[in-house]
Structure 1
């Protein structure tokens, strides 16, 4: 028997809103403004209920094209979304703008807010969407696959200090309370930018290469997203800094949802 408190927790989103399961005789109409969660909806078997997505929602590549685009994660087309008559909107605190979400909430009855901060938060994400949209069995299957994947991630014997770069001009990285940094921490890789760093106390701080905090960096990671870093960037930066620089798959290390299961396997096999 499921404890009532557990059932309520399972239906509670990142803003503390407790959602009700969709009645079995009702077909939801879902607009998702979060690329990784759009992919998750497909993997939960909810494809037929998805009526809108962003242009950055690119997975699964062979099926997502049938879902209408409604703009980007920041600049959505309000009129187009209204015309789709959605019953549910799925957003993320980091990826979507609150003023836009507030406008959408004026005509979309159910707004589900997500905010995974560490890999384990995926378990709640799977179960919350599973409970709301009545796909609990599929959600538990993903939970099991996730648990299997995370149990195989091994911590390196020698800790490494890493700088994970997400943008150039200006250069930007991640602080230790982000999903990316917590993901890297599973391998024992220490993020060099704490959130409280005096120069830039932000979750995604800008930095300069002469910042003293970078002196102890063992490795620099250039992510393929959101900035499209390439091997050429790695080679140029390595010649300049005389430090190891590698290119990493941004989707694998920053996407939550079902992609996180593949991401954990990628993380385990990443040799540095």
Structure 2
């Protein structure tokens, strides 16, 4: 167990136990998924249109707009007791407006995969699901340990991670995406950037060993591989953006996905698709009770 207080959010605010009558609105897609994986789905009364997992269960949960364009009146009518927000994904001015009538605003800001340990424990402490939170912590720590062992046996590799096309955009090293990739030894380019999601010129790819084409926010497809390889003069590979950018409970399967992908591309596993390996890890988590849906 971490020595840090488990009920403190990213702004240092302590949160008392919510009790069984909590009414939660989540403005963060990956944390909406975490709420269900912690067994709290029945307490979720509102979510954004970008909250898409778990699909079937979310059909019954009202939408309150987007992560940035929240419909304040709709959210207020739901009478939430708790609002889940994120420093990067939600506008401060919007959160301040909502805080005028939502009693408890839980602010999150995981910057690395390991930060999810505190996130799990925060939700576990506030919403009385400590056992489920600790199961996720155990699963995540195991994945972090396996990623560290893999990285110790391979040289780090510079990569260029594409998130947009025309203009071509990538991620800065200070992002959660870059931290996830670095966990398995993939260091993103550029080394320094003025913005979190910089536009780049193709000579940058000359410093990379590989170019990744993410499935979000731009949906790169196999048809883009030849174009990118011609422009970058480097091998190009499709990558599941949700597995790399979604924190919360998805971090466990995301790390397993990246471990399998790194092993395959390094030639450590012959003829094994990383996507299948990630799917197997999600199934295993559900069978073991770590993920409840």
TM-score by length of 1: 0.91
Task: Verify: 1:13 aligned to 2:9, yes or no.
Answer: yes
Length, aligned pairs only: 260
Q: Which residue of 2 aligns with 1:204?
A: 197
Q: Unpaired runs of 5+ in structure 2?
A: 266-293
Residue by residue over 1:186-216, the C-alpha shift from the partner in whole angstroms, topping out at 9 and shown as x without a partner, is: 111111223xx3xx41222222224xx4431
Q: Secondary structure of the equivalent of 2:30? A: helix
CA distance in structure 1 between the partners assigned to 2:189 and 2:73 by the alignment: 43
Deviation at 1:169, TM superposition (A): 2.8
Q: Is the 8 A contact 2:205 2:232 kept in 1?
A: no
Residue by residue over 1:195-254, the C-alpha shift from the partner in whole angstroms, topping out at 9 and shown as x without a partner, is: xx3xx41222222224xx443111111110111111112222112332111110001111
Q: Secondary structure of the equivalent of 1:22? A: coil
- Pick the aligned partner of 1:260 from 227, 231, 251: 251
CA distance in structure 2 between the partners assigned to 1:147 and 1:241 by the alignment: 36
Task: Note the aligned Cα RMSD (angstroms).
Answer: 1.6
Task: Verify: 1:239 aligned to 2:230, yes or no.
Answer: yes
Q: Secondary structure of the equivalent of 1:233? A: helix
CA distance in structure 1 between the partners assigned to 2:69 and 2:56 by the alignment: 25
Q: Unpaired runs of 5+ in structure 1?
A: none
Q: Structure 2 matches for 1:104-123, cutoff 5 A?
A: 104-123=98-117
TM-score by length of 2: 0.84
Residue by residue over 1:30-66, the C-alpha shift from the partner in whole angstroms, topping out at 9 and shown as x without a partner, is: 0001111000000111111100011111111221211
Q: Which residue of 2 aligns with 1:161?
A: 158
Task: Verify: 1:145 aligned to 2:120, yes or no.
Answer: no
Deviation at 1:259, TM superposition (A): 0.8
CA distance in structure 2 between the partners assigned to 1:105 and 1:168 by the alignment: 37
